[in-house]
Amino acid sequence: MSLFKRKDTLPIPPLDAEKYTTVCQYCSAGCGYNVFVWPEKRSGTAKSNAFKVDLSQQGQLMSGFSYTETMHNVITRKNGHKYNLAIIPAKESRINKGDYSIRGGTNALTAYTPTGVTRNRLKDPMLRKENGFVAITWDHAVEILATLTKSSIDKYGADSIAMKFYDHGSSGLGFEDNWGAGKLFLSGIKTQYLSIHNRPAYNSEVWGSRERGMHELNYDVDDARLADTVVLWGANAYEGATVFYTEHIMPNLQGGSIEEKQKEFASGEPAEAGRIVIIDPRKNATTSVSQDISAERVLHIRPNLGTDWILANAIARIAWENKWYDNDYLQKRTDMKTFEDYKSKSLQLSKSLNTVLADAEKITGVSRQEMEQAAEWIAKPKAGGFKRRTLTLYEKGIIWNMKNYDQVAAIAQLNVLTSNVGRVGTGCGRLGGHQEGYVRPPAPTPGSIYAGGPPKNVDKYITGGGGKIYWVGATDPYLSTPNSQFFKKMVKKRAANLLDYIDNGGIPLDPKAYTAKVLEAFEKTDGLFVVVQDIYMTHTAQDAMLILPAAGWGEAVDTSVNCHSRLLRIYDKFMDAPGEALPDWKILALVGNKLKALYEAEGNKAMADRFSGMDWKTDAEVFAAGSAEFGDNKVAETDEATLSAECYKGVTHEILRKLGNEGIQTPVRQDPATGKLVGTKRRYKYSFASKDGLFKWYGTDAWTGYPAEIAKYIDNPTYPFWFTTGRSQHVWQTMYHDKLIPEKYLSLPLPYMEIHPVDAGKLGLKSGDMAEVFNEEGSCIALVYVNDATKPGLVFGIMYHAKGTMNNLISSYTDPKTTMPWYKGTKVGVRKYTGKLDDAIKTASLLSNNDFTT
Amino acid sequence: MSDISRRKFLQTTSASAVLFLSGLSRDGNTAPPKGYPSKKIGNIKNLKVNEPLAFNYPDDKSPCLLVKVENEAVGGVGPGKSIVSFSALCTHMGCPLTYSKGRLVCKCHYSMFDVALNGQTYQGLASQWVAQIVLRLDAATGNIYAEGVEGLIYGRIGNLKLS
Ligand code: SF4
Ligand code: FES
């Protein structure tokens, strides 16, 4: 009867099972997990087991110990023996306290097993031959890649190598791999055509905040429980950073953290249940869950797409008008010279309040009354004159908005204007997507257009015929890049041109002859040599010439920080990588060391030196090597702002192993008085991260309408709907694991769109129908859900899915100041198809996922 | 109707089967679960659409719900194959589930399970679908019996392993 095989009993780890600590491989919350490994045939007992829990009794609700069907697997180690694997949420972690989400709860199911759902992991390096891929050795793969890279640099310059690599933590990646990539691409190859996993350039997503002197991860999970008001701005916390919402924001809304507030707040300061301001065009699940908890403590504002910075400035103007700021703070902590620019351009003090708000109403579609309420909840002092404590978190709704730089800057400035940074219960920054783990040599482009930028757009370079080698690591741009339909078409064409040239009379077998032929193709065609380094066969990899198999989460030791506390922990290795797969840093080092040898062989010392320092033997060595990049961290607490946000200098894998789920919060200082390593709970209490320690103001741009790429659709009746994208709670990224897990793929069998009942009625659409979303950039066929998450005139789509991508519809526009795309806004038409995909949708629940009422 | 065999599922996905491999080892139908007691839990005559009945199964520490839904449901019995039954413990962290509008809702962290689709978590935190009770309808008497559990009841190492 079940749709897939279920279990009604689980194996028990014996007392002496191997135990490791790790952190969830997925979202920014970074929930702590404990891993148990024991031989398949051995078992503990209900009373005596490695969980140290009495399993003979019915488990109690919310006990903090959960062990469910999805938390167990059977793996095979390199020794050929089978082992039970249990991965359970850590009760002792202050991040999740035993809680977990639908994503992390399936961590165990993603483990590689030779005959299970993950059996098709990449296991060997593979080279494309005439009729598809063949397995080759690492020696062979490295020789080809290093020789081609060297020849290409020598002949066409470093910019002939383009790369797209992750720069984040978690997912089995972290400081170690990022240092490896940094050494190879930034110190060694030195190409300017670098791009980060989810965007076309090598940029910060938040230069608008960083260039003010404020790194985006400046708060602690505790602040979400201690805030008077939490603002979620384009940040769907319940679905995207789930446990951060359920363990830290939700208790605050429910009044469950009042006692904590009383302890932490000043004496006499009012401490009540928290409020929440949600600024999002959709009534997403975060909104409806919050409303179900306490509707009167929720303010939901739905601005027109692209207009948020105008809204932020209008709210700031209301706060200014009411004098809800601390002049002393502004004078001491912020740069009053640049404040003039902010006053004139962002607050628009030369215009009357009425004019500013009337303009803002027109542009944003948000009523003055809502703006005033938001301003009160964010900034109005509490009874007794105590400053309100507001934690503002933004994410992709802001970062991937039109005018990335101004959007981020406006929100950062609203919070500093109202002193909502550096105090208990405050903070302003990213909710985060992934966890982080960035350590690299300096990037070629240090900042936005105001700080040496903007960085190069690699997508435009590649689609315009630039580059010879395109090396993609742990990302799938065919799905994930903006304007992906066009991008894919061009890469495919260039890859095919290369293949066609070298296949003329048979592809040479010998590595030397092979590389010579490819170099000839570089000369004669616009051919692109695509290299994909990943754990699975991706959409992009299907057009690769060379595929490099990487180790995944749990298959190597790595380290990362989460986003809501910058909590650095070890993600220990508990199993072997499949086949020949290697950790990313090792793959990058193999190529780097080979390049060094090739340059040495021809006596080119200068070039050989660029690739030196990559002869690491262990993960711990790479971690240590990266730490030198952070410089001196012997600073007092009052100087924490001078440290890089992820500074871990002095911390080792061994120390982290001892700290386990407790971890240590970056930036880590070596205290000058005691010499001890000390973490940083909350940032910018004393000064900001600018040369003089003052927050730097910036006057944002005025509203000038939409960029040409979108303006062409306005008033065009073929594309009547505004269109935005987002994620589903169930699945992670491209579903690289989730597409294999029945609990996930049966629920979400197809890419989907959401449409409001009013619009659905006009088009004759019902939930379960199939429709095409289209515009002049491209199209995507999607399963239709009719619900009130969207509003009339607005269509929503899952950003991408293993079976299709809405990025086909997204324009190639990027913010000229930062080269950040506007992934979350365009206009589309919707066309209904007749017929249904009955079997696929037979397993997909069509119930409304934002209605929690009973 | 309700069983979707692996073969059928693959057919629907064959267009992109290379990238979308369905799970082999966890797919397919299971033999009826063994060792469970048979317990009379209600009679078809007393069941009204959307009005759930509470009972305990396989022992008194495991609250369950029996409900008749509007349409055919996976694992449903009765003339419309619309009578289904589930564990009433949320598979996320064990809170009580409430039946409403065709789904089971948990107010601890807002997981929601579709009772027509095998207890599928269609929203929320529970990574495990809720455990479904195997039902048998005695055609002569209209009595409904619980005769097994598919999936793990929350808080147990085995559904029949409490001491
Ligand atoms: S909330 Fe995020 S970190 Fe926590 S278990 Fe879920 S995916 Fe993992
Ligand atoms: S216990 Fe039900 S959702 Fe958490």
| Chain B residues near residue A115 by CB distance under 8 angstroms | 24-25
CA atoms A547, A548, A554, A559: torsion sign: negative
- Picking from A554, A578, A541, A624, the residue whose alpha carbon sits closest to that of residue A164 is A541
Of B4, B100, B128, the CB nearest to A68: B128
Question: From the CB of B128, is ligand 2 less than 6 Å away?
Answer: no
Lookup: tokens for A630: 């952070």
SS3 A273: coil
CB pair distance less than 8 Å for B128 and A289: no
How do residues A377-419 score in pLDDT, each as one tens digit? 999 999 999 999 999 999 999 999 999 999 999 999 999 999 9
B90 lines ligand 2 (CB under 6 A): yes
Tokens found for residue A237:
């916390």
A488 and A453 inside one domain: yes
Q: Is the CB of B4 under 6 A from ligand 2?
A: no
Residue B125: both structure tokens together:
């935190």
Neighbours of A658 (CB within 10 A): 10
Burial of A851 (0-12, 13-18, 19+ CB in 10 A): buried
Give, using CA atoms, the residue closest to atom 3 of ligand 2: B109
CATH number, residue A806: 2.40.40.20
pLDDT in tens, B72-87: 999 999 999 999 999 9
Whether the CB-CB separation of A262 and A410 falls below 8 Å is answered with no
Which of B4, B29, B30 is nearest residue A843 as measured by Cβ atoms? B4
A227 and A194 inside one domain: no
**B92 catalytically annotated:** yes
A43 and A179 housed in the same domain: no
CATH label, B27-150, candidates 3.40.50.2000, 2.102.10.10, 1.25.40.10, 3.50.50.60 = 2.102.10.10
A597 part of a folded domain: yes
Q: Which residues of A touch B2 (CB under 8 A)?
A: 1
Contacts of B98 in chain A (CB under 8 A): 854
Asked if the Cβ–Cβ distance from A2 to B96 is below 8 Å, we say no
**Together in a domain, A425 and A445:** no
Closest CA to A111 of A534, A555, A496: A555
The parent domain of residue A745 ranges over: 708-841
- In this prediction, residue B3 has a pLDDT band, given cuts at 50, 70 and 90, of very low
**How far apart are the CA of A707 and the centre of ligand 1, in A?**
36
Are the Cβ atoms of A8 and B126 closer than 8 angstroms? Answer: no
Which class for A805: exposed (0-12), middle (13-18), buried (19 or more C-beta within 10 A)?
Answer: buried
Domain membership flag for residue A2: no
What residue has token string 């060094």? A596
Separation CA A529–CA A462 (nearest Å): 11
A265 and A374 in a single domain? The answer is yes
pLDDT tens digits, B24-67? 334 444 456 779 999 999 999 999 999 999 999 999 999 999 99
- The domain boundary residue, chosen from A400, A430, A460: A430
| B16 confidence band (pLDDT: 50, 70, 90) | very low
Q: Is A59 exposed, middle or buried (0-12, 13-18, 19+ CB in 10 A)?
A: buried
| C-beta separation of A584 from A558 below 8 A | no
Minimum-distance ligand 1 atom for the alpha carbon of A244: 1
Q: Are the beta carbons of A9 and B161 separated by less than 8 Å? A: yes
Q: Quick check: pTM over 0.90?
A: yes
Split at pLDDT 50, 70, 90, the class of B22 is very low
Q: What is the pLDDT of residues A116-167, one digit of tens each?
A: 999 999 999 999 998 899 999 999 999 999 999 999 999 999 999 999 999 9
DSSP assignment string, A420-471: -SSSTT-EEEE--SB-B----SPPSS-SSGGGT-PPP-HHHHHHTT--SEEE
- A334-344 as b/e: b if 16+ CB within 10 A: bbeebbeebbe
Contact A7 B152 (CB under 8 A): yes
**A335 and A267 together in one domain:** yes
Closest to A110 (Cα-Cα) out of A612, A738, A604? A738
Residue A51 shares a structural domain with residue A150: no
Confidence of residue B15 (pLDDT cuts 50, 70, 90): very low
pLDDT at B32: 60
The CATH number for A29's domain is 2.60.40.4210
Q: Which two tokens stand for residue A678?
A: 């000390």
Q: What is the CATH number of the domain that holds A516?
A: 3.40.50.740
Tell me, yes or no, whether A78 lies in a domain: yes
Q: What separation in Å is there between the alpha carbon of B125 and the centre of ligand 2? A: 7
In Å, how far from its chain's centre is CA A714? 31
Mean per-residue pLDDT of chain A: 97
Burial of A41 (0-12, 13-18, 19+ CB in 10 A): exposed
The residues, ordered by sequence, that sit 6+ positions from A635 with a Cβ below 8 Å of its Cβ are: A642, A643, A669, A672
Q: Catalytic: which of B55, B92, B106, B137?
A: B92
Residue A121 within a domain: no
Specify the pLDDT at position A401: 98
Q: Say if ligand 2 is within 6 A of residue B134 CB.
A: no
pLDDT at B163: 87
Protein residue with least CA distance to atom 8, ligand 1? A104
Among A110, A137, A160, the domain boundary falls at: A110
* % of chain A with per-residue pLDDT over 70: 100
Residue A409 to residue A336: CA distance in whole angstroms: 16
A268 with A383, same domain: the answer is yes
- Ligand 1 shell residues, CB under 6 Å: A 24, 26-27, 29-31, 96, 100-101, 103-104, 242-243
Do the chains contact at B110 and A853, CB–CB below 8 Å?
A: no
Pairing type for strands A546-549 and A529-534 reads parallel
Give A431 Cα–ligand 1 centroid separation in angstroms.
13
Q: What is the mean pLDDT of residues A222-243?
A: 98
Q: What is the pLDDT of residue A1?
A: 73
Closest ligand relative to A106 C-alpha:
1
* CB B64 within 8 Å of CB B55: yes
Of the residues B19, B60, B77, B149, the best mutation for testing chain A's interface (the one with the most A CB atoms within 10 Å of its CB) is B19
A637 falls within a domain: no
Q: What is the distance between the alpha carbons of residues A849 and A285, in angstroms, rounded to a whole number?
A: 7
The closest alpha carbon to A474, from A174, A192, A213, belongs to: A174
Same domain, A228 and A366: yes
Mean pLDDT of chain B: 85
pLDDT the model gives residue B12: 34
- Percent helix, strand and coil across chain B, each to the nearest 5: 10, 35, 60
Cβ contacts of B71 on chain A, cutoff 8 Å: none
Q: Is the CB of A4 less than 8 angstroms away from the CB of B102?
A: no
Q: How many residues does chain B have?
A: 163
CA–CA separation, A458 vs A569, rounded Å?
Answer: 33
Same domain, A37 and A134: no
Cα(A99) to ligand 1 centroid in Å equals 9
- Integer angstrom CA distances of residue A306 from A364, A398, A778, A811, A816: 8, 9, 21, 14, 15
SS3 A314: helix
Q: How many domains does chain A have?
A: 4
Q: How many CA atoms lie within 13 A of A434 on its CB side?
A: 21
The verdict on a CB contact (< 8 Å) between B107 and A849 is no
> Of the given ranges (A459-468, A735-744, B13-22), which has the lowest mean pLDDT?
B13-22
* Residue B92 Cβ contacting ligand 2 at under 6 Å: yes
Per-residue model confidence as pLDDT tens digits over A572-625:
999 999 999 999 999 999 999 999 999 999 999 999 999 999 999 999 999 999
Nearest-neighbour CA in chain A from B140: distance (Å): 23
B95 lines ligand 2 (CB under 6 A): yes
Q: Is the domain of A86 the same as that of A132?
A: no
Nearest Cα to Cα of residue A852 among A299, A293, A302, A246: A293
Alpha helices, DSSP H, located in chain B = 6-13
Most ligand 2 atoms within 8 A of CB, residue of B106, B113, B153 to mutate: B106
The total number of residues shown for chain A amounts to: 854
pLDDT band at residue A505, thresholds of 50, 70 and 90?
A: confident
Name A510's Cβ contacts closer than 8 Å, sequence gap at least 6.
Answer: none
Res. A840: pLDDT tops 90: no
Of B12, B94, B151, the CB nearest to A62: B94
- Strand partners for A334: A695
Nearest to A523 by CA among A542, A492, A502: A502
> Residue B35: what residue type?
G
pLDDT in tens, A665-710: 999 999 999 999 999 999 999 999 999 999 999 999 999 999 999 9
Chain B residue numbers with beta carbons less than 8 Å from the beta carbon of A6 are 30, 129, 131, 150-152
Atom 4 of ligand 2 has which residue's CA nearest to it?
A: B109
Same structural domain for residues A462 and A513?
Answer: yes
- Please name the residues in contact with A225: beta carbons below 8 A apart, sequence gap of 6 or more: A248, A249, A251, A252, A256, A257, A260, A261, A274
Sorted by sequence, the CB contacts under 8 Å of residue A199 that are 6+ apart come out as A205, A481, A819, A820, A821
What residue spans define the domains of chain B? 27-150
Q: Which residue of A has its CA nearest to B77?
A: A1
Atom of ligand 2 nearest to the CA of B109: 3
End position of a domain, from candidates A110, A139, A162? A110
Query: Nearest by CB to A2, which of B25, B112, B150?
Result: B150
Contact list, A747 vs chain B (CB under 8 Å): 120-122
Once rounded to an integer, what is the mean pLDDT over residues A170-175?
92
Return the ligand 1 atom nearest residue A29 CA.
3
